[in-house]
């Protein structure tokens, strides 16, 4: 049976091929994937390695955790299944916090901002 391993704090220069190369010394690697930002296609700094043999995965976890890879101490542990998020778990933004109207709150009658201060507007 196969076992998936989480690898965190990866250097941004590591790609799928290099990740497979680093972990293949512990046994047969089924899959090695670096997680990337879907818009910029840059690494998010973590990935997953799936081993064919559970014992190989355990050995990789014990020997690679906190080991330096290209100057960064990687964090290696057994991968946990991703938890399902409901609609209420997602962060919400309102117009008052960064965005919408540039962070300024205006009432309907205050359309001019600072430049019209002191001048009465007629509608």
Q: pLDDT truncated to tens, each residue of the chain (123 aa)?
A: 899 999 999 999 999 999 999 999 999 999 999 999 999 999 999 999 999 999 999 999 999 999 999 999 999 999 998 888 777 776 666 555 555 555 555 555 555 555 555 666 666
11 found inside a domain: yes
Give residue 87's pLDDT: 73
99 found inside a domain: no
Count how many domains the chain has.
1
Catalogue the long-range contacts made by 86-91 (C-beta closer than 8 Å, 24 or more residues apart): none
Neighbours of 23 (CB within 10 A): 22
94 found inside a domain: no
Give residue 72's pLDDT: 96
CATH of the domain at 64: 3.30.70.330
Neighbours of 106 (CB within 10 A): 11
Cα four-point dihedral sign 58, 63, 69, 74: positive
Range of the domain at 9: 3-78
Give residue 122's pLDDT: 66
């Amino acid at each position: 049976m196969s076992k998936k391993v989480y690898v965190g704090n990866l250097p941004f220069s590591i790609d799928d091929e290099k990740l497979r190369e680093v972990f293949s010394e512990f046994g047969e690697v089924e899959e090695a994937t670096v997680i990337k930002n879907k818009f910029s296609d840059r690494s998010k700094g973590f990935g997953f390695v799936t081993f064919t043999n559970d014992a190989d995965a355990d050995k990789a976890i014990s020997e690679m955790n906190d080991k330096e890879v290209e100057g960064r101490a990687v964090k290696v542990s057994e991968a946990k299944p991703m938890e399902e998020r409901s609609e209420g778990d997602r962060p919400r933004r309102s117009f008052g916090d960064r965005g919408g109207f540039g962070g300024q709150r205006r009432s309907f009658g205050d359309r001019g901002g600072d430049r019209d201060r002191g001048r009465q507007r007629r509608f």
